[in-house]
Structures are given as structure tokens and as C-alpha cells.
Structure 1
Amino acid sequence: MLTEGEIRALIVLHGEQTVSEFATQLDRSPSYTSELVDRLEATGLVETRRHGKTKQVRPSDAKALEILAAITQEYSHIEWPELLSGATLRVLYYLETPRAATDLAHRADVHRSTVHRALDPLQHRGIVYKTDDDAYVLNEGFEQLSTLARELAHHDHRQTVEQHTDTYTILWESLDEFLVQTADEITAEDFRSTGPEQFQTYDLPLLARDRRYYLYSETMNDLSPATVCCHMLVIDSGARSQSYCLLLLSHVDVDRDELRTQAVTYGVDDLVEDLLTYLDTGGEQRSSRLPEWEEFQELAADYGVSA
């Protein structure tokens, strides 16, 4: 997420100063500092302006910087730049709750040895500890480190989407992906249309809406029916959206194992289990938001779906 040099610069930078003054404070060359400022400006974590012939730099109003300042000021005796660089922030993103190394590796998409290498120095300093069942936990007073990692990722996601639209809402996010709602069309390569619009792919044309929905992902090429169903429930968990998901699950051969895995990822696992139970019992077991079975059969018939 951030290099050691970038973290050190963000910790040192207070108020507005010239790049030359900043270089002196960092004890680095003006050319190195200028390149560093350019990188941080591209991330939206610092801002620059020209004042005569000099270039001034100052921290942005990113919430992540407030959290970083609070942590480093409270624990000023700790050498934070070397502890938080590399993959450490990726791992800390998922340490908002106790997790084993294998779980952290899977979620952060790193090797298990990388998790140990990132967290062992923190454990040595009493910042994290291990439970009896080998789960890593942030010690009391250091929980904000996970919040910092999450806020940095959120800031990065905002920077990414703001290259394409000014009006948007992030509905769900993980370390490297996010689901966004906007009124604008986004055609960039890593934004994949999802939600109601994707139901047309399965011959289930839903009513047109003014809002558009996109999953930003640098790795996911195609959205499976299971993923689209989960996105629909994130977008709107109401009765209508659940009924549409029932149509999709009845109309398309959906891998249930994948569906359940995706549902956990998107935090809609309880809703998905309700939908599957409803279909498996012919509506005999249903939540309050699901239709009577006869009503669903009528809806399915309207869309040419066998229920």
C-alpha cells in the first residue's frame, strides 16, 4: 500500500512547507523528495501549490492521515515506517478481528510466510499477540492500525472512482475491490457493470434505473451468476431484489458452493441461505420479505422462468 519512505514522509510532514525544507526534514536529497512528493500527490495524500518559484507541499485532508498522526504521536517511541511498510498494511486490513495466519494470507492474497514476516516484528513489540489457538490479535490501544489500513484502502478506492465520476456511493469494499453506485457510465477496463443491468445477460430484463452499478476489480474478468446475485443483495436487500435473485437462482444453474462463498465475502450470507431454503422447500420456509410461493410462481411465469 505504502512504502517505508512514503510512510516516513507522511509522519514527518506537518503544515505547509517548501519541498526543499521537506527534504531537509527528511534528510533526503531534493530530487528524491520531489519524486516522493509527486507519488504522494498522485495518491491524494498530499497537496502542492506554487508560491513564486518554490513548490509548497502540505498534507491533504484524508482521514487516514488523521489516524496515522494520532497513532504515531501517541506511540512516538516506535519506529512506525519500518513496521508498516510492505505487506504489513495489507495484513492489518483484515486484523479488525482475531484471525489465524492462513485466514489472513487468504484474505490479503499473500503467502502465509508473508503474514508471519509482517506481524512478527509487531508481536515482538507487543503490538499484536497470539491466542492459544494461534490467531493473531491487535493488543489494546493498537486497534486503530487496522482502521488505518482500511481507511487507506478506502481513500485509494475513492481516488480511483473519482477519475471517472464526481457523484458516487461505495456500497461495499475489500482491500482491492469495491462495488460502486453512480449515475454516470464508466467504461474503464477494470469497472465491470453489475446489478440489475447484468440480469439482462440471463434473459431477465429488469426495469431500467437511473443508477448504474460497477464492481472495480483488477483480477476478476467475468461476473458469475452467483456474484451478480450477491451484488444485487448488497445494492438492495428488499423484497423486490430478493425476488429477482430467486428468479436468477431458478433460471440459471448456479454453483451453490461458490454462491455461499461469495455471500460470505459480500456479507449477505444470511440472505442467501434464506433464498436457498425458500427454493428448496417450495416456499414453505420463508422470511418475511419473501413472497408467498404462489406469488413467486406468477412472477416467474411473467419472466418465462420455471419455478
Structure 2
Amino acid sequence: MTDENNISGISTEDLKPEFKLSQNEKSFLFDKSIAISVSNNENLNELGLDEQHLNDISIELARYIICNDGTALYGGDLRENGFTKYFEELASQYTRNDDDRHAFINYFAHPFLNKIDKKFERDFKSKRIGLKKISCPDHINFDFDKNYQPTNEVNDRYIFAECFRVLREKMTEDCNAKIIVGGKLSNYLGYIPGVLEEAIYQIKSKKPLYIVGGFGGVANEISKLILGENSSFLSNEFQYNSSFLEEFKDFVKDKYNYHDYEVINDLFTDFNLKILSINNFLTENENRRLFISKNIHEITYLIMKGLNKAFI
């Protein structure tokens, strides 16, 4: 591959675990933080994919970020086989020996802070992973002794949604660019699907946003809206399809700006392909490819190309 095409900053040869950049070889993502917003989604199987494909693309994106001296940001996932477990190995393998910065920072929302004990923190530190605990907003009185029911109790759902909101706003504030992949369309615990909320905050920040739509989920539905198409999933009819969710919508209508999907659809219609391309330094055709590609090499190439242009 020629230098002109190899904008990734990584050799085309397979990287070995001992790979480290020298002190004088700081790459274009040095001192930059790139958020990766990814979650499993319901329609992976329809696309001939499964959760491992999401793992593969997420790991590869994080590897390219870390190998180019960047910091990967991710919202905490405490499942046994969650994305955090995959990312932490990259942090220990691909950071420079002479660099004491965190290559990977994991953000955790308040409802799960009681699950992070001293052993967990020592484990993160030993692998050179940063850990950010995001407390709930001041107007929320969170009680760890209470058995919250965010799927059945409106006020409990509101408390969880507020905790996730401040985490996602903080990640958006801290990152220089954001990548969204997949994203569940239902059975979430926030105001709206998490990847959708991440995308909205990134748009409002006017920072680079890269939408990987080929793996389905929220990212794919967002790409449709940006192209002027309709999304049956990102609609009030689909999202508020039970009496509990209708009650929740009514409860938060004066508390959260994006509870109504007509507002969300208008936001993404106004944020068209041209604006996306200006913000993320890819051409409109390149963004169209990113919307549909399932090829990991093509996806990483396009995103690293955009980041390279944004930060050099």
C-alpha cells in the first residue's frame, strides 16, 4: 500500500503485541480522544451478522486509535463478555512504553458505580486504563439500597435516564470525535436509545461524527434520516408502544428536549449529508460508503482518513 493510501498510520503487516511507537514518533491522534459508541442491536441476524462482528469492528477501531497515539473513550460495559473486556487488552498491548497517558478511558454511569470495587480499579490501573465515574446530577437523589425498576416505574426510569444523560454529555465534552456503530432500538434504560443520544449530542457539539451504518441498529436508521429517508424505528409509534412508555413520555416532556421523535427526525433532516461531511472531513460519497459498508478494512480506512484530515 502506498503512503498516499495508507492514511491509517499502521503498517499493513500484522501488528505484534509488542508493537510500540518510539518517543519521537507521535502520530496524528496524539492528545486526541475518540469516543466509540457501540452496542448490540436487534437486527444483526437479519444482516447475516452477530455480536462477534460488532466486537471485531469495535476492537479494530480502538486498535487504530490507540496505535496512532489517541485515547479511545467508551461508556462502561460490565458484562462478562462486554466490549470493555476486549478494549482493555488493547490498552495494555498497544500503548507506548514511554507514554504514561491512558490509551483507553472507560466511563461508568452512576447506577453501576457500586459494582466497581477496589479490585476492579486495581485491575484497570494495571492495564493502563482510565476509569471515570460519572455521578448523577445534583437534582437526583440516588439510593444504592433501593431496588430500582426502570422498566416498570416511571420515576425510576427518569432517574436512570438522567444518569445516562450526564454521562453521554460528559463523553461528548471530552472527546474530539465520535464513532457510532450499531445501537439497540428498544429495551434500553434511558430517555431514547443510547447510540441515538450520543449522536444527537455530537451533532450539537459540531465535532466530527462517523456513522457506521452497515451493522444495522440505530446508526443505520440515523443514516437513513440524514439521506432524507424515513425510519419506522425512530418514530413515536415504535418507541412508545406500551402504556408504560407512553406514560414515561408524558412524564418527561417538560424535562428532556428529545422525548419526541418528530423533533429528532427534524434534527437529523436539518443535519444533512453536506453538514456531516464538512464536520467529519470526508466527502459525501465517502460518508455514503460508511453508511453501508460491512468491510472492516474499508470502514477503518475511511474513518482514519477523516480523522487524519481533521487533526493534521
TM range (shorter): under 0.3
TM-score by length of 1: 0.28
Structure holding more helix per residue: 1
Higher relative contact order, structure no. (Cα contacts within 8 Å, ≥ 6 residues apart): 2
With normalisation by structure 2, the TM-score equals 0.28
